[in-house]
């Protein structure tokens, strides 16, 4: 399963991913997925875990990120890595955008496609 070889932002729908949070699915295949996630100030990505490995780049904004028991403030240009099944969550301090990548792909994000 994969989407097209090219993705154009203006052609991709934004999906609700929680109060004040929207996501846009970009490239994906069975072993990798990239997603843009837009947060309004004060929005929360609740603590959770998943079997996927996650690497994220902070495109804009300021966030308080928790991975396991470690909490850090991160902003534009920073990134983070979440090992498989490690609990993590995020709080948006200043509106911004994350670029998430998951391996393998998050099938749960495309079940309605």
Residue 112 pLDDT exceeds 60: no
Give the confidence band of 113 by pLDDT, cuts at 50, 70, 90: very low
Please give the model's pTM, rounded to 2 decimal places.
Answer: 0.91
Residue ranges and CATH numbers for the domains of the chain are 12-107 (2.60.120.10)
Residues 52-70, mean pLDDT to the nearest whole number? 98
The CA-CA-CA angle for residues 67, 46, 74, to 5°, reads: 45
Distance CA 41, CA 106 (A): 25
Tens of pLDDT, residues 17-51: 999 999 999 999 999 999 999 999 999 999 999 99
Cβ atoms of residues 44 and 89 within 8 Å:
yes
Residue 106 pLDDT exceeds 50: yes
For residue 40 the two structure tokens come to 């309004």
């Amino acid at each position: 399963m994969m989407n097209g070889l090219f993705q154009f932002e203006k052609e991709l729908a934004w999906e609700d991913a929680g109060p004040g949070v929207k996501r846009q699915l970009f490239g994906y295949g069975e072993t990798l997925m990239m997603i843009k996630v837009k947060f309004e100030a004060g929005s929360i990505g609740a603590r959770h875990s998943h079997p996927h490995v996650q690497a994220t780049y902070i495109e804009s904004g300021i966030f308080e990120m928790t991975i396991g028991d470690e909490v850090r403030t991160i902003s534009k240009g920073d990134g983070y890595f979440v090992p498989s099944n490690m609990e993590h969550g995020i709080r948006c301090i200043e509106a911004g955008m994350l670029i998430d990548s998951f391996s393998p792909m998050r099938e749960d994000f495309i079940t309605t496609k």
